[in-house]
Structure 1
Amino acid sequence: MTDNKTTRKSGINQFTDLKTILVKYFYHWPLFLLGLILALGAAFIYLQIKNPEYNISATILVKDEKKTPQEKSNLQELELSTSPRSAETEIQVITSKKIISQVVNDLGLYITYTAGDFFNTRDLYGTAPVKLEISRGSGIVGKHEISILIQDANNFTVKRDNLPSIKGKFNETIETDFGKWILKATQSLNQYIGTTVKITISDPEKTTDGYAKSLEARLLDKSAPTIGLFLTDESPRRGKNFLNALIKSYNQATATEERRITKSTIDFIDKRLASLTGELSAAENKVEGYRSSKGLTDVGLQSKVYLENQQSNDAKLNDVNVQLSNIYGIERYVNSPANTSPPATLGIEDEALASLIKNLTALQLKRVELLTSTPEGNPLFEPINMQIKTTKSAIRANIGGIKASLLGEKRQLQSVNRKFESSIKEIPGQEREYVGMKRQQSSKENLYVYLLQKREELALSYASTQADARIVDSANVGEVKWPRIPLVVAIALILGLIIPFMIIYFRYAFNRKITTREEIENALDVPIIGEISYEYLGKDIVLIDNPRHLVAEQFRSIRTNLYNLHKKRAEKLQNLVYDNIFKTRKTPGRITLCTSSTASEGKSFIASNLAVSIAATGRKTILLEMDLRKPSVMSLFNMDEDKPGISEFLSSSITTHEIIQHSGIHKDFYMIGSGKIRHNPSELLEGPRLRELLAILQKHCDDIIIDSPPLHLVTDAMIIGRLADISLYVIRQGYTSKQELEFIRELSSSDQLPEMNIIFNGITQGKYGYGYNYNDSYYTEMTKGKNFKNSWKHFMTRF
């Protein structure tokens, strides 16, 4: 049962804490409203000045040799092409800065034309009335802006910041800080006469970087080499032109690379054919001369059979010799320090070797290409040279095994040849020499025909190089990417709530003032006998000017609590021996001291209204203005401040009748002012006259309310407190520092003030999440429409 109560109490506390937090923030609803209005206003202005950005996209289909390995080109058969391409590698090529830079320069995208004012700026791409052409010798560094005022069809004026204007004519050269340039008129010129066009010239490299960052290319379907290109641009026309030109430049670049490699291979075959032509011609002449000199004719049937078998074996031996020749050529190529032309791999079936040669060829071509723009000693060559060295080592290791295998096969074929030769020993020596010559001629002829065929195929491929990228969807404009009105409005609403929330949060987080009753109760073991709500009353005394006011009821509650406190104190003292001054009266007047830590905490307000409240019950009450340094009570009641007061009584021998004033508010309410300000108020209070004054007042009054100086600033209140019965310590919400709680704790523990009690003053309903349960609707109806100034000040505190 106890656990259920504890759980229910915990739940109630959590709900109360949440409600306190919500009330604290809801109190500042005007600040949230202002934040929303400003945020929505800023969003509206942003939507007016921000030009929309559109999504532009295109789709292309590229060759992916990984997905179509059966489609091998002549270069791949000769093992002289670059490595097989894939869609992933083509994405890197199409988004390379080299191709983007070419598009930027071809379209002149580093020059932009705009018109309009700050709130309505239009991009004039494709519709600009002028076109700026910069001389090739002018190097653009940084960003330059010029304004062109079009005067008529022939003249214009150049406006620049902090520089004199320049008058110019169309199609005439003008020289400025970024170089020489010519301004040409377009067909739209007549529509812009009298208009100022702003021209921005950016660094082409930075423009290229900007497009490289904004361009997105990704594989749309992993099962098909389809690449999507995406771009965001304020000008749909410019975005479409950029993507279409990018695809075109990519096709041109890949076609140029294919042509370069094909041309290199054709040159290599041409050199080999030129060499074979001489060798074949020499072999044919030798056969023809030998037969003519020896007069040889047809051989016998048996010789024919042997020769056919031997020719078949020789063909195999010839293939082996061709492969060995290529192996030796590859070996020389690898061991050669110079970058010679790549060797052919005809007849070599080892795919690993062919792939290594292909990679070596590509690396050396890349090195040659880099040499065109970079000195050989540049560190950029280190990784390429290392890759070439590693590839050569791999080739050497590979050709060693192939060469050994071919040599073994050659020895075997030569052994078979020797068997055939032994079988035809009886054939005339001239015939054997003839067969050898004929075999050599046939071998060279077969190789010549093969290379000639491949050369023609490569020549056809060179002449008919097709684009690698096929356009699936040309560049098209999609929906507006930014700004999206619902999203901008949503962001504005969020910021309009978050910013005021953070302002309030940090305001309270760094607030070192006392804001709630719990903070006082947790820090002090001093009872709180009353709470006073904050209300701007000016110089009004609430019990007189607003008797039905909530604050008036709160003072009545304090009056009741104060009566109980004095009653309890009297019960404690009823068996004690009184001083002679008290023996003359059975119930001497009650002395109540009002003080606080610092000024402006409301002690004078509390003392004044409490005195009026007590007097309203028929008790003879007197209010003492004992703040001799900075008095304010007499002015609050519009009393005569020039009449002698407490300072005169303490410093002279005047009587109490000379200083007491009737307030004119209530028949039982009297007052004594502070009198003239003295330079030694503490010494006056220490004198015997103060005790004498209070003793006289106790005989004739029921209640004595003392308004004392702030206790933490001067010691006057402690001196007065020695003679008081009850002390009321005023703490003001949102004003009294939390550091004062330690000072009040020391006062309480050392009993420097008698019967200390606390009044929590200036509680603003809901401002700090405390006091929100105060309902003054019943009281404010009585004064509705009479405190506009009060309502306005209260409203301003909500910000």
Structure 2
Amino acid sequence: MAKKNTSDFFDVNALVKTYVSKWYWFVISVIFCLVMAFLFCRIYKRPMAIRANVLIQQEDSNPMADLGGMGSLFGSKGFVEDEVFVIASHSLFSDVAKELGINKMHYVSDGFLKSHLAYPEFPVDVVAPGIADTLMSTIVFKVKINDKGLANIKAKVKRDVIGKAKDVTLPAQLHTDYGDFTIVTTPEYVKGKSLKTTISFTGYDVAAEDLDKEVMAYRGSKKSNVISLALNTPNADYGTAVLNKIIEKYNERGINEKNLQGEKTAAFLNDRIGLLSNELNESESAIQRYKEQNRIVDVAAEANYQSVKKGQMESAVFNTEKEIALLKLTREFLADSLNYTELIPASVANGGVQSGINTYNALVFKRLELTQNAKQNSYALRQLTKQMDLVRANLLVSSDKALENAELNLSKIKAEQSSIAGKLGNIPTQEREYINMKRQQEIKQEIYLFLLQKQEENAMLLANSIPKGQIIDEAFSLSEPLGLSKKVILLIALVLGLLFPPMLLYIRSLVRSKFETKEDVERRISAPILGEMCVDRSGRNLVVSATDTSSATELFRLIRTNLQFMLGGENDKVVLMTSTRSGEGKSFISLNLAATLSLLEGKRVLLVGMDIRNPQLANYLGINPPMGLTNYLSASNVSLESIIQPVPGVADCDVIVAGPIPPNPAELLASKKVDELFAKLRTMYDYIVIDSAPVGMVSDTFSLDRVADATVYVTRVNYSTVSDLRFVEDIYTNNRLKKLSVVVNGTTSKKGYGYGYSAKSARK
């Protein structure tokens, strides 16, 4: 069965009513938030944004860069990403802290919950030579000086007091486990004026760690070589001094690194130049000795000369061999008698032989002419023949001698040719050896000249060292402090003060286990709501009377009217009252509901106390009858009339109290005598109200459902739980009790049903 009271729309009116009922929450929340905002503004000083920009020079200033990989031995060009780590390095921050003395932070009180960072001038200082170099803790000195100049000093490390002095004049020495500290005044101290200051004393390494947290160093953009520095601090002088000192120490370190690099480079160059000078001299001497040993001036020229000479020798051999062959042919020609009158065809290089050949050939021509004109035995022909024989004989002798000379000359030429061939065979080896020696000498000479050049460049760099970081913007402060202004903070506090109560109410509604209003009950169960009863502060148990027009009486009359609609039928007159647990006001509602029904004209009402395990009606009415319901049910000699008692002060309303607590209450209520009893009572009364036991604790009430016509279930705000409502819903949806309806007890006073009710009705 669906919950008919569940609504899908947002009930703004109910929400507003809830907030109005909790108006004091809003007042407390707003006051609290405004007070906290005021204290925050009092204590917190808005920081100033300090900024600085440095351009990192990227040109290559390393004189050894041209050596390629060797240049990395003496430093290499720094990238901007690497320089970010350098400029924000721990060692650099430590140097900054040491030079500026910011390992000592001075806070001077300005009044209630207000102080400021004093820099660069402060009234009181702590002097401790050498301690800051090794100190790894933070020592806090609290100094109070009265108008008489007497000081109270306390030194603490975390929560431990390590030293204190009272009513001392400054300068004063404080002995601690960390060393001796002297507290002194400075020229800024004003005599005759009270002063309260706190000095935080740390080591330089700890101060560097603090700077690392405070200072931000980052690359301006991916496409730039600019490093930006940022520091947020309430003291602009402190921030600008720190950032400017960081840049100064960074550039100083860069110059020192460059100078150190230049000095190392100069030492390297001097060593190498001296070594190469010796090696170059040795190479030149070796070349000289090699030329002297091999009797060469120039290997290439010598090779060219020998090659030309070889060609000449080859030509000479050819010509000589040809001459020898011609001389042999000539000699053979002359030796053959058949060739006596023939011309000698040879042409030889030997001048004497060639002259004889020419003479002989001329004589042969002359003889041929004579033989044509003269007789064979003529004197001229005989004389010419003798002359030819003589020339022929001389020619044979001269040709033999020329042949001998030619063969001897050929041998000499061939010997010279062999010598030239040997020399040409040695030239490649000599050339290779000479070239290798020459190459070594040239390499050393080139390196020597290169190092001389770099030596001069390095000397120029040492004489003109410039910082690596070019300052674009020295440390400057933005015009407006960071953070929110006091007005905005107070406005936010006001808004938060108004928002916290709804948030808390919402969270409370999510985590609470108890409901608070009648509307909460309506949203969680589908059973009809018979009515509600406001909190009663009158102290009375019976609040209904015939002449009473109080809010309680009116609410009970409303419940009575709704109950009459629930009963409906003509014979419906028995109303079973129950709840989940004790303390929800079931007996109070039962008593006053019965009294309200008795106010109807001509109606007789009976209130039956059937919560026999924990009876309360007798106590509520202040009566102590001798007999009760349990006496009647357990004994046959007890009459019905003996247990019925009139309700004091209420006409036409009787009551049957529970009586003594029996040992077997469940069996007693399940007996047939109960049915017989109610059969009789129905004939005697117009309405019967049964005050039964809570159903969440025992099952007695379920056994009484057989004699009832309707059930009124009592719940109590801020007492009954949400799980109790689920239990009610389960009973209703499963029809375990007839005509179940709910009364919400303990609600707050409110206007409704056309009347103004006051809070004075509900009871447990």
TM-score, normalised to structure 1's length? 0.62
Look up the match of 2:388.
Answer: none
Aligned ranges 1:230-379 → 2 under 5 Å: 230-274=230-274
**Structure 2 residue 581 is the aligned partner of structure 1 residue 598:** yes
* Matched letter for residue 611 of structure 2: D
- C-alpha deviation, 1:467, in angstroms: 2.0
Please say if residues 103 and 201 of structure 2, whose CA atoms lie closer than 8 Å, have aligned partners that are also in contact: yes
Look up the match of 2:95.
Answer: 102
Look up the match of 1:581.
Answer: none
Bigger drift between 92-101 and 170-179 goes to 170-179
**Structure 2 residue 67 is the aligned partner of structure 1 residue 84:** no
The match for 1:520 among 518, 522, 525 is 525
1:466 aligns to what SS in structure 2? Answer: coil
Bigger drift between 195-204 and 258-267 goes to 195-204
**Structure 2 residue 762 is the aligned partner of structure 1 residue 779:** no
Look up the match of 1:704.
Answer: 688
* Matched letter for residue 627 of structure 1: D
The match for 1:148 among 143, 148, 165 is 143
The match for 2:130 among 122, 125, 136 is 136
Q: CA RMSD in A?
A: 5.0
Change (3 A) 1:91 1:26: farther
- C-alpha deviation, 1:739, in angstroms: 4.7
1:229 aligns to what SS in structure 2? Answer: strand
- C-alpha deviation, 1:279, in angstroms: 8.4
Please say if residues 43 and 113 of structure 2, whose CA atoms lie closer than 8 Å, have aligned partners that are also in contact: yes
Aligned ranges 1:306-705 → 2 under 5 Å: 454-478=454-478, 479-482=480-483, 484-485=485-486, 488-489=489-490, 492=493, 496=497, 500-501=501-502, 503-513=504-514, 515-521=520-526, 528=528, 530-536=530-536, 538=538, 539=540, 544=545, 555-568=556-569, 570=571, 590-618=573-601, 619-633=603-617, 636=620, 639-641=622-624, 646=629, 660-663=644-647, 665-674=649-658, 694=678, 697-705=681-689
Structure 2 Cα separation of the partners of residues 497 and 43 of structure 1: 14
- C-alpha deviation, 1:256, in angstroms: 0.5
* Matched letter for residue 96 of structure 1: S
* Matched letter for residue 55 of structure 1: A
Structure 2 Cα separation of the partners of residues 592 and 602 of structure 1: 16
- C-alpha deviation, 1:206, in angstroms: 3.4
* Matched letter for residue 606 of structure 1: I
Structure 1 Cα separation of the partners of residues 734 and 454 of structure 2: 114
Give 5+ residue unaligned stretches, structure 2. Answer: 287-297, 302-427
1:238 aligns to what SS in structure 2? Answer: helix
Bigger drift between 200-209 and 615-624 goes to 200-209
- C-alpha deviation, 1:254, in angstroms: 0.4
Please say if residues 153 and 189 of structure 1, whose CA atoms lie closer than 8 Å, have aligned partners that are also in contact: no
Please say if residues 521 and 725 of structure 2, whose CA atoms lie closer than 8 Å, have aligned partners that are also in contact: no
Please say if residues 140 and 179 of structure 1, whose CA atoms lie closer than 8 Å, have aligned partners that are also in contact: no
The match for 2:104 among 111, 116, 138 is 111
Bigger drift between 86-95 and 72-81 goes to 72-81
Change (3 A) 1:258 1:112: same
- C-alpha deviation, 1:509, in angstroms: 3.1
Change (3 A) 1:529 1:258: closer
Look up the match of 1:343.
Answer: none
- C-alpha deviation, 1:127, in angstroms: 2.9
1:516 aligns to what SS in structure 2? Answer: helix
1:257 aligns to what SS in structure 2? Answer: helix
- C-alpha deviation, 1:197, in angstroms: 3.0
1:15 aligns to what SS in structure 2? Answer: coil
* Matched letter for residue 202 of structure 1: T
Structure 1 Cα separation of the partners of residues 22 and 140 of structure 2: 47
Change (3 A) 1:278 1:226: same
Please say if residues 64 and 454 of structure 2, whose CA atoms lie closer than 8 Å, have aligned partners that are also in contact: no
Structure 2 Cα separation of the partners of residues 204 and 229 of structure 1: 21
* Matched letter for residue 597 of structure 2: I
* Matched letter for residue 91 of structure 1: V
1:465 aligns to what SS in structure 2? Answer: coil
- C-alpha deviation, 1:730, in angstroms: 2.8
For these two proteins, the number of residue pairs brought into alignment is: 598
Cα deviation 1:8-57 (Å, max 9, x = unaligned): xx9x9543478777876776554355334323322222222223322111
Please say if residues 49 and 232 of structure 2, whose CA atoms lie closer than 8 Å, have aligned partners that are also in contact: yes
Structure 1 Cα separation of the partners of residues 660 and 597 of structure 2: 28
1:508 aligns to what SS in structure 2? Answer: helix
Structure 2 Cα separation of the partners of residues 172 and 564 of structure 1: 93
Cα deviation 1:584-618 (Å, max 9, x = unaligned): xxxxx933221222112232233223223322221
Structure 2 Cα separation of the partners of residues 164 and 213 of structure 1: 29
Change (3 A) 1:650 1:466: same
Look up the match of 1:757.
Answer: 740
Structure 2 Cα separation of the partners of residues 454 and 750 of structure 1: 104
Cα deviation 1:226-260 (Å, max 9, x = unaligned): 33211012322221111111011001000001111
- C-alpha deviation, 1:540, in angstroms: 6.8
Cα deviation 1:513-554 (Å, max 9, x = unaligned): 574335333xxxxx5362325444543766549976777566
Please say if residues 148 and 192 of structure 2, whose CA atoms lie closer than 8 Å, have aligned partners that are also in contact: no
Bigger drift between 126-135 and 657-666 goes to 657-666
Cα deviation 1:453-510 (Å, max 9, x = unaligned): 5434432321221222233332222332246446644664565466545544443334
2:482 aligns to what SS in structure 1? Answer: strand
Give 5+ residue unaligned stretches, structure 1. Answer: 1-9, 287-302, 307-410, 419-435, 522-526, 571-588, 767-773, 794-799
The match for 1:40 among 31, 34, 55 is 34
Cα deviation 1:60-97 (Å, max 9, x = unaligned): 333133xxx7xx66554566463333444332321222
* Matched letter for residue 52 of structure 1: R
Please say if residues 594 and 706 of structure 1, whose CA atoms lie closer than 8 Å, have aligned partners that are also in contact: yes
Change (3 A) 1:743 1:474: closer
TM-score, normalised to structure 2's length? 0.65
Look up the match of 2:313.
Answer: none
- C-alpha deviation, 1:693, in angstroms: 5.8
- C-alpha deviation, 1:696, in angstroms: 5.5
* Matched letter for residue 227 of structure 2: I
**Structure 2 residue 160 is the aligned partner of structure 1 residue 165:** no
Please say if residues 580 and 694 of structure 2, whose CA atoms lie closer than 8 Å, have aligned partners that are also in contact: yes
Structure 1 Cα separation of the partners of residues 79 and 162 of structure 2: 54
- C-alpha deviation, 1:264, in angstroms: 1.5
- C-alpha deviation, 1:270, in angstroms: 2.6
2:651 aligns to what SS in structure 1? Answer: coil
The match for 1:53 among 47, 52, 64 is 47
1:481 aligns to what SS in structure 2? Answer: coil
Look up the match of 2:189.
Answer: 189
Please say if residues 611 and 621 of structure 1, whose CA atoms lie closer than 8 Å, have aligned partners that are also in contact: yes
- C-alpha deviation, 1:714, in angstroms: 4.0
Change (3 A) 1:192 1:269: farther
Structure 1 Cα separation of the partners of residues 142 and 463 of structure 2: 49
Look up the match of 2:402.
Answer: none
Please say if residues 139 and 179 of structure 1, whose CA atoms lie closer than 8 Å, have aligned partners that are also in contact: no
Identity of aligned residues (%): 26
Please say if residues 531 and 558 of structure 2, whose CA atoms lie closer than 8 Å, have aligned partners that are also in contact: no
* Matched letter for residue 569 of structure 2: K
Change (3 A) 1:101 1:118: farther
Cα deviation 1:323-377 (Å, max 9, x = unaligned): xxxxxxxxxxxxxxxxxxxxxxxxxxxxxxxxxxxxxxxxxxxxxxxxxxxxxxx
Please say if residues 141 and 178 of structure 1, whose CA atoms lie closer than 8 Å, have aligned partners that are also in contact: no
1:45 aligns to what SS in structure 2? Answer: helix
Structure 2 Cα separation of the partners of residues 546 and 31 of structure 1: 40
- C-alpha deviation, 1:187, in angstroms: 0.6
Please say if residues 153 and 165 of structure 2, whose CA atoms lie closer than 8 Å, have aligned partners that are also in contact: yes
* Matched letter for residue 183 of structure 1: I
**Structure 2 residue 9 is the aligned partner of structure 1 residue 15:** yes
Structure 2 Cα separation of the partners of residues 126 and 750 of structure 1: 83
